[in-house]
Every structure is written in C-alpha cells, then in structure tokens.
Amino acid sequence: MTTTTTTTRAGGRAWLGLSVLALATLLLAVDNTVLVLALPHLAADLSPSATELLWITDVYGFMIAGFMITMGSLGDRIGRRRLLLIGATAFAAASVVAAYSTTTTMLIAARVLLGVAGAAMGPSALALVAGLFADARQRAMAIGVFTACFMGGAAAGPVIGGFLLENFWWGSVFLMGVPIMALVVVGGLALLPETAAEGAGRLDPASVAMSMAAILPVVYGLKELADDPRQVAAYAALVVGLVFCVAFVRRQRRLAEPLVDLRLFANRSFSAALLILALAMVVQGGVYLFVSQHLQLVERLSPLVAGLWMAVPALALVGGSLAAPVIAGAFRPGLVVGVGLIVSAAGFALVLAGDGLGMLVTGVTIAFLGMAPVGALGLDLIVGSAPPERSGSASALAECGGELGVALGIALLGSVGNAVYGGLVTSPRAGDSLSEALDAAAGLPPGPAAALVGEAQAAFGQSLLVVTAVSAVLVLGLAAISMTLLRHLRPIGQEKR
C-alpha cells in the first residue's frame, strides 16, 4: 500500500525565506540577459574592441560555469547562508563598479566578479530551498517557485533592459542589482537558517583548479563552435577540458573529502534526473538561439520587441514550473516529465506544420510548456536524492549541468542549422549565416540585395525547421528515458510500505 510521508511541514517563515531566495535567483537570471540591449550604448561610451566586447558579454557566464562546482562544495563546508550573503554583497559591490566603469578593462573585471558572486549564490540558494522544506510536497512546490523565478527573470531581462535604457544611461542595467541584493542580505540574515556539513574538511586546491580547467575550456570550445564549427582551437579546447575532466574524476575517487562526491551518481534518481535536465537544456538552448535569430533577422523585429515575443514561451515555462509539482503529487514524476516531453514534441510538430510568426511562437510556447516539468521536478529529484550534507554540491552539479546543456545546445544545434544553411545557399555573398548575408546585402543595389536576402532567409527558414525536427526527436527520446529510468518513483509525498 501507499501512504503519505509524515514530515514536519514548514510554516510561514520558510515561505518568506523562499521569497528571499527567489529574489536572488530572479536577479541572477535578469543579469544574464539584460546586458544584450545595453551593448550598443556602452560600446559607444567605452569604445571596446571586438574582442573586448565579446569578453564583456561572455565572461559572466564563463565565471558562473567555472566556479559553480567549487562554490557548491564550499557552501557545504562553511555554510550555505554565509556563502549566499557573501555572494550577494560581492554582487552588489561589483554591480556598482560595472555601472560606473570608465574603461573596458574595469567593466570586464566587474563582470568577472559578478560571475564569481553569481556562482556563489546559485547553488547556495537552491540548497537552502531544499533545507527549508522537509516535507516532500512542500519542497517540490518551493523548487517549482524557485525555477519559475529563474525562468521569469530570463524573460524579463530584455524588457527591463529596454525600459531602463529608454530612461537612463547604460550603467542603470547593473545598478538595479544593488537594492535587490541589499534586500537579499537583510532578508537572509532575518529569515534563513545556517546549514553546513558537520566535520567537512577544507577544499582541495588542486581539485578546485582541475574543475575549472575542465569546465572553462569546454564552455569556451562550445561557444566558439557555435560561431564557427571549423575552428581548430575550439576542438583543442574541448580536448583539454575533457582531459582535465578525467583527471578531476580520478582525483575525486582518491580523496577522503572530495570536491564532488561521486557516490551521488550511484543514486539512480539523481543520475537520471541530471541527465534528462542537461539534455533538455540542449534543446532549449538551441531552439532559443534560432527562434530569437528568426525574430530579429527574418521578421526584422527590434531586440526589445523580439524579447517581448520570446517572453511568451518563457512565461509558459513559469506556469509549467508551478504546475508540475502539483501534478506530480498525484502522478509519478517520471510519467509527468515524460508526458510533458511528449507535449513538447507536439509543440515542435506544430512549428513544422504551421507558417507565420503566430504559429511559430505558439508552437514554441507549447514546446517550452511541455519541458517545464524537467526543470522543476528535475531539480527537486537531484537535490532531494542527495544527502543533506551534500545538497550544495548536488545543487551545483544540477546548475552546472544546465549551463553546459545550454552551451552544448547552442553549439550542436547551431552547427546543424549552419550546415543546412550552407548547403542551400548558392550565392557566395550569402556567407555562413543569415547575419553575414544581411551585412553583404546592405552594400548591394536594391535588386541583387533583395535576391540575396530572399535566398538567405529561405535557407535560414529551412535550417530552423531542421533544428525543430531534431529537437522533437530529442525530446521524444528524453520522454522514453524519463518513463524508463524514473518509473520507480512514487508520486511526490508518497512512499511504498
């Protein structure tokens, strides 16, 4: 027979603590996307080179990915609340430096610190959410709220950025983080309990260095391959990262207090949820890239208007993240995730069958709605499957897997789309991408320009359809994996006797 698990249910204080953690993750998500619209404004003011502009854009994500594992383990050792508050304070200080930067070097340095601070906050916040709620159903709902805030923040970034840039200078997109982080610090001190693993040893410096040497080259290589799959340096970076990854794993097996406890992967629920989450982010990252390009390069919408259109699928992710824990209280989580992914495939099929902007956004919205349970329930399974003393490390692995999944999706699906585009265009002026073709058309007479744009946009449209078809196949495969590897899980809050 089945019975509902009997654990202490959290009260109002825990939900207020969740609001503090949700506020922190909301800002981290906003900060990850808000800079896009500000780039032309700060470029006009600081005059960065092309390389410096790339560093301003990318170094934040590099630092988050590189330091995530280290910060998750550090939080387990010194306390997750302490690390969260340190990260929030550093984030506020770096935001001020970024807002008032007078040189590109100063801004890049500020972005580095923002990334390190963000890496400190992310795993700590997720681990604290798990620690606040002992009841399985409450924890799942809280993580659903946490996930929804992250998704909502990512969607709100371009909208907030557009509003600020219309009324203030480019530094305002950074300065908005200061009062929010002040609230996080005050609220954290008042509402969040301190949690840390008893008797945990010190961080192993060699493991820290090796984790960064494994992650950073992989992220860099994937990002470069997304821009140009022919870059030898990108493949070399991937090889270097994988070599260090193997060395890192071998070292963790020998240490009494490893940076990452590899025994976590022996838990079937943990490993399966982490795999499904990472692969789902592959799809989301690649689809988001192509749809946002379509809106700006084919529909010729401004970044702000394109951001508003992309907010619709993001809001579907928010709604699905909130609904998934409720549904998983009545049905098995593996089934909920699997059925959701089948719905996602149906959304992609709608894109393949339809035509026009409305059908595209509708199909992608349905697809993202179907993928929402992966994030909400996947994070809950990953954190809930780990021992409490390892919740920071488990949270870091979950968030790092998501980061790598997005980067891999942009690289792999981007390469697929670029290959289709290159195989269809015949004009040498079309280049390797639609953006290159549009740049070339700008210097041509009206007739040849229109012909070039038409050919390039048609080729890009076909590449979008191929990427959509590949995504549909991938999510169907993930549905099968979910229903197979997670079939043993009972509905949330129930257990076998």
pLDDT tens by residue, 54-69:
788 778 888 888 888 8
pLDDT given at position 201? 63
Report the pLDDT value the prediction gives residue 4, as an integer from 0 to 100. Answer: 45
Q: What is the pLDDT of residue 360?
A: 92
Highest mean pLDDT among 28-42, 147-161, 287-301: 287-301
Mean pLDDT over residues 120-132, rounded? 87
Residue of 301 and 323 predicted with greater confidence: 323
**pTM attached to this predicted model:** 0.84
* DSSP alpha helix (H) spans, 228-300: 232-254, 268-293
Asked if residue 495 has pLDDT above 90, the reply is no
Report whether pLDDT(127) > 50: yes
- For the chain, what percent of residues have pLDDT higher than 90? 26
Buried b / exposed e over 119-142, threshold 16 CB at 10 Å, is: bbbbbbbbbbbbbbbebbbbbbbb
Assign 289 a pLDDT band (cuts: 50, 70, 90).
Answer: confident
Alpha-carbon distance 55 to 62, whole Å? 10
More confident residue, 479 or 297: 479
Q: What is the pLDDT of residue 308?
A: 81
Average pLDDT, integer, range 185-204: 78
Q: How far apart are CA 339 and CA 182, in angstroms?
A: 41
What pLDDT, on a 0 to 100 scale, did the predictor assign at position 293? 82
Contacts 24+ apart (CB under 8 A), 246-251: 247/210, 247/214, 248/207, 248/210, 248/211, 248/213, 248/214, 251/204, 251/206, 251/207, 251/210
Q: 393: exposed, middle or buried (C-beta count within 10 Å: 0-12, 13-18, 19+)?
A: buried
470 confidence band (pLDDT: 50, 70, 90): very high
pLDDT at 2: 43
Examine the pLDDT at 96 and tell me if it is beyond 90.
Answer: yes
Report the alpha-carbon distance of residue 171 to residue 173 in Å, rounded.
5
C-alpha span between 372 and 357 (Å, rounded): 22
Higher pLDDT, 307 or 270: 270
